[in-house]
Amino acid sequence: MKQSRILAVSLVLAFLLPAVSGPKAETIETDHFVVTFEDVGRYYAGIVAKSAERQYTNVVRTLGHEPSSPITIIIAADEKRFMALTREVLPDWSAAAALPGNRIVISPLKGRKIDVERIVAHETVHCVINDASGGRYVPRWFHEGCAETVAGGLGIRGRAYIVWKVLSDDIMSFTDIERVFSRGAQDAGLAYDQSLIAVGYLMKIHGKDVLGAILSGMRDGLEFDAAFERATGVAPKMFETVCAVHIKKTYGWRAVVTVVPGTWTGILILAFIVYAVKKYRTRKILKEWETMEKPGNIIDFSSFPPDDD
């Protein structure tokens, strides 16, 4: 099952990318972003800038950290330029990447520009986490889970696929999620969804401020595992074990009773609405035809009120 949504990905590189020659760029500056664009039009670049600002407050509030400098968003002129800016290390289904130095690179998104606000929010989360961690290692499940918490969501298809994986005893470990790029886009989609569930469960049992508490520990100089344990009282490995139990319990056979019937109920409701609309339109058309086909030499007495005298 191929993921229908666009999967944006964060690059965690140990070095800054060198300058890559390209077309002359223009810029738009906002309170928290500098949008650089190349041959994509100022109107679209303006939409990206406004989208980024709309999501900024939510990202900062969720993570409990504000970047130390503005975030630069580079809108690539074409796919070739996008691959050059990202050193051609991304899988072909990637739409954007968060780079060191509070930078985001976005592909042209041909035919997919409707997703730009979600993509920008996703990548902004990566930049904020990188800024808060001071370059220290942050596991992929936490990175992607936070990003999906702000910008994503577990749809019906994703939920159904997780149920299938649980019943097949084939869910991912945190290590599997770390190696997501060595697998197909389908497994990448599962990794994003499981990361989303993990972070959601983390917030459920430790409170919505736990993400900020973990990043606060990293700002204090702690490595991720130590910061996680300080914020939650448990080691990440222990949380992974508990989270796996939660996923199997929530998306196992019990989910078949709730997810599948719920899906079919939605389909039936939608089918009924479509049927009702078609029936209404058919009646309207038939009525119009009756009016049009009525002989002109016959008096329509229905338009005159009855004479009671």
Encode pLDDT of 54-97 as tens digits: 999 999 999 999 998 999 999 988 888 888 888 766 766 678 88
Backbone angles phi, psi at 273, to 5 degrees: -60, -45
In a domain, 66, yes or no: yes
Give dist(CA 99, CA 96) in Å, integer: 10
In a domain, 165, yes or no: yes
In a domain, 215, yes or no: yes
Q: How many domains does the chain have?
A: 1
Give dist(CA 151, CA 40) in Å, integer: 24
In a domain, 277, yes or no: no
In a domain, 295, yes or no: no
In a domain, 298, yes or no: no
More confidently predicted of 306 and 49: 49
In a domain, 195, yes or no: yes
Give dist(CA 199, CA 207) in Å, integer: 11
Amino acid present at 224: F
Report which listed range, 1-15, 17-31, 97-111, 220-234, is most confident.
220-234
Tokens of 209: 């401020």
pLDDT of amino acid 88: 63
CATH code for the domain in which residue 173 is found: 1.10.390.10
pTM for this structure? 0.75
98 contacts 127 by C-beta, under 8 angstroms: yes
Rg (C-alpha) for the chain, rounded Å, is 26
Half-sphere exposure of 193 (CA within 13 A, CB side): 25
More confidently predicted of 136 and 180: 136
Domain that holds residue 247: 26-251
In a domain, 105, yes or no: yes
Give dist(CA 124, CA 67) in Å, integer: 10
Give dist(CA 36, CA 201) in Å, integer: 37
Give dist(CA 191, CA 93) in Å, integer: 14
pLDDT over 70 at 213, yes or no: yes
How confident is the model over 13-30, as a mean pLDDT?
62
